[in-house]
Every structure is written in structure tokens, then in C-alpha cells.
Amino acid sequence: MTTSPSDEELNALAARYRAWLFDTALPLWWHAGADHQGGGFHELLDLSGRPVVAPRRARVQGRQSYVYSMAGQTGWQGPWQAAGAHGLAYLNTHYRTPSGLYCTLVTPEGTIADGTIMNYDQAFALLAMAWCWRADPRQDELVVASDDIVARLRRMRGHAAGGFVEAGAKPFQSNPHMHLLEAALAWSEFHTSPTWRVLAGEIVALCLSRFIDRDGGYLREFFDETWAPAPGADGHVVEPGHQFEWAWLLERWSRLSGDGESHAAAVKLYECGARGVNPSTGAAVDEMNEAFDVTRAGARLWPQTERVKAALILAESGDRARYHADAVAAAKVLWTYLETPVPGLWRDKFRPDGTFLEEPAPASSLYHIACAIESLTRAAAV
């Protein structure tokens, strides 16, 4: 196989990103981003690298545990096992409710600030458990706990029309299903339990039949109780970042299951997401509608990472040169978010006026960045 200029750039970017993650970001977010006195992970670091006192979301504990466990299993030599266990221990100590599921928010002192149970948060607990179990398959308690979470979700949140009902004012959403699919795929790739293949297959079927518009091939965010598009403005929301993220997941499912429909949907979703890339800045914007008109012109960090991941996985079975060129372009844009005075931090929000919002770095973004870097590293090794 010949090497193209895009391949050479991709290899160089992969090395640059891996050095950033291993040498600066992971050490910083362990030493300053973890609360070594009270437990768990801080929600934010300011741009000088100091923790910000703030309520802590359950999803951050799951995400950080996942990041460190994955990093250790892909080459980081730091205290990754301790970091992964650190987040899960805090999650189980401070977020577990009498229902057996996790609440969404605790105070900096570890008391419940919001007892709402979000499907979204359970998904990241499941993802963290999958990767921590993969590191040490003797941890049978993680398998038992994960099976139990899914069983409880089915009893408490299962919906007659398929899928799961989310807590809050917008109970019928594609996004929590996306992260449950991500967790189910991780477990499916590591473990033989039928729980995960069944769950993943159900979510994919719902996505292909209801979340994705049959004519346009794009994915919506909000629905009514029949999984038809939600009334009003919510039913018109199309997020470029989620087109890319679902493309990445559906392609993984296609390879796991042999489902050609999922592959075709992934390719189409990628093209829809690409319609949301601002040609002036090269960044994927936050939101558009079914006509692909931009409705929110800002560009958060996470859609850029999802574009990298989707392009690279589709490059493995599609137009390699085109997708690699897209991945390089997205990775170059993403790097601008990481150019902070203290290495290992990031800016999250790129505004329509071409400036970044100056605010603390959210811990939750490390999950997106680390996963994109893992995809870059894997692609560079091919």
C-alpha cells in the first residue's frame, strides 16, 4: 500500500497527540484533576491547572475511569489502574441510590445534590466497568453489577415502543441510547454474555427505524412517545457531532454483527455530519436543521473529536484517501482547542466570532479527546 501525504500527516499528528495525552494531559488530570483527599474527580480545572470547586456529575466519574483504564491498556505507563478504580469507587460510594442505579450529581463534599437517575449516567458507569473489567477479568463483581444495571433499566425505564425513557422534561431522546450502545459494544467486544449483543442490537434497530430519517439519512435528537419527531423546534434539531458519533458506533456494530444496513447508515450519517463543517473555520458546528441550515454556529470541542473517529473507522473499508484527509483536517482543527498556556488543558467552546470562550476546562471532554487519540494511534499503526 502506498503512503499518501495525508497518511504522513496523520502519522505525525497521531504521534503529536499521543505525546500530549501521555506526557501532559493524563498526568495533569490525575495529579490535579483527581481529588486525592475526598475521592473522585473534579469537574473542572481552571486554565492555570487548578481544580475548581463545583458539583460533580456522575458521568465525569465514569468517563475519567474509562479514560485512564483505556490509556493504560493502550500504552500509558502511569498509575492507570489506581485512577480507574478511583472513579468507580467514588461513583459507588456517593452516587448509588436505593434503586440500585446512580444519581446524576453530588456536591463537592459527596452528598447528593440531584437525585435524578439519568440513563445517560448509567451508560458511562457501564463503559467504565467494561474497560476496568477488561484490564482484570477476575473482577466478577463488575460483570454482575453491569448486568444488574441493564436489568434495572429495562424494568424501570423500558418503553413499550422500544428503547428507554430518559428522566427529565425531554424523555424521548436518541443521545442516551447512543451512549448505552457505546457501553454495550465495549462489553460485547470484551465479554461473551448475551446481554450486550441483545442490548446493542435493540438500540441499533431503534436507531435505524426511528432515530434516522428514512429519506434524508440524518439523525434527530428528540422524539415523542411513539418515536416520531418531537413537536416544535425540538423535532428539527440535527447535531453534526452526533451524526459522526453514531456513524462510528454503527460501523462498529456492522463489523461485529455483519449488518450491512448499519454500514450504509454510517456512511450516510457521516455525509450528513460533513454538511455541518464550517468551510471558513473547518470546525463542525453545534447544530443545524433537516435542511442542513446552521442554527447554532458555535463549535464545541467534542464534535471535532467525533469527526476524527468517524472518518478513521470509515477509512478502513471505504475511500481511504478521502477519509484520511478529512481526519487530518479535523485533527488540525481539534489541536487549536488544546493550545492553552498550561499544556494538558483545553478550551471547549469556539464562538461564531472566531474566538474561544475563556472558562475552566471541563473534565468531561477528556473522554472525547482520548478516544479520538486512540483512533488516530490505531490508524497510524496500520
How much is the pLDDT for 323? 97
How much is the pLDDT for 7? 85
Establish if 31 belongs to a structural domain: no
The mean predicted confidence, pLDDT, of the chain is 97
Q: Do residues 236 and 157 share a domain?
A: no
Establish if 1 belongs to a structural domain: yes
Establish if 39 belongs to a structural domain: no
Give me the mean pLDDT over the 228-249 stretch: 98
Q: Do residues 169 and 268 share a domain?
A: no
Q: Do residues 249 and 364 share a domain?
A: yes
> Residues 327-376: pLDDT tens digits?
999 999 999 999 999 999 999 999 999 999 999 999 999 999 999 999 99
Per-residue confidence band for 2, with pLDDT thresholds at 50, 70 and 90: very low
Establish if 46 belongs to a structural domain: no
Establish if 30 belongs to a structural domain: no
Per-residue confidence band for 318, with pLDDT thresholds at 50, 70 and 90: confident
Q: Do residues 113 and 251 share a domain?
A: no
Per-residue confidence band for 1, with pLDDT thresholds at 50, 70 and 90: very low
How much is the pLDDT for 5? 62
Give the whole-angstrom CA distance, residue 160 versus residue 225: 9
Per the structure, the complete domain to which residue 60 belongs is given by 54-207
How much is the pLDDT for 6? 76
State which of 207, 235, 269 marks the end of a domain. 207
Closest CA to 243 of 224, 217, 210: 217
Give me the mean pLDDT over the 218-228 stretch: 98
Q: Do residues 176 and 222 share a domain?
A: no
> Residues 13-35: pLDDT tens digits?
999 999 999 999 999 999 999 99
Give the whole-angstrom CA distance, residue 29 versus residue 345: 9
Q: Do residues 113 and 250 share a domain?
A: no
Establish if 38 belongs to a structural domain: no
How much is the pLDDT for 4? 60
How much is the pLDDT for 381? 81
Q: Do residues 195 and 62 share a domain?
A: yes
Q: Do residues 354 and 375 share a domain?
A: yes
Looking up residue 5, the CATH number of its domain turns out to be 1.50.10.10
Establish if 83 belongs to a structural domain: yes
Q: Does the pTM of the predicted model rise above 0.85? A: yes
Establish if 32 belongs to a structural domain: no
| Contacts of range 46-55, beta carbons closer than 8 Å, 24 or more positions apart | 46/360, 46/361, 47/340, 47/341, 47/342, 47/345, 47/358, 47/360, 47/361, 48/341, 48/342, 49/342, 49/344, 49/345, 52/360, 53/108, 54/108, 55/105, 55/106, 55/107, 55/108, 55/113, 55/114
State which of 146, 178, 207 marks the end of a domain. 207
Q: What percent of the chain shows pLDDT beyond 70?
A: 98
How much is the pLDDT for 382? 60
Q: Do residues 122 and 245 share a domain?
A: no
> Residues 142-201: pLDDT tens digits?
999 999 999 999 999 999 999 999 999 999 999 999 999 999 999 999 999 999 999 999
Q: Do residues 195 and 220 share a domain?
A: no
Q: Do residues 142 and 274 share a domain?
A: no
Q: Do residues 58 and 18 share a domain?
A: no
How much is the pLDDT for 166? 98
How much is the pLDDT for 180? 98
- Exposed/middle/buried for 313, CB within 10 Å: 0-12, 13-18, 19+? buried
State which of 207, 222, 240 marks the end of a domain. 207
Domain count, the chain: 2
Give me the mean pLDDT over the 124-131 stretch: 98
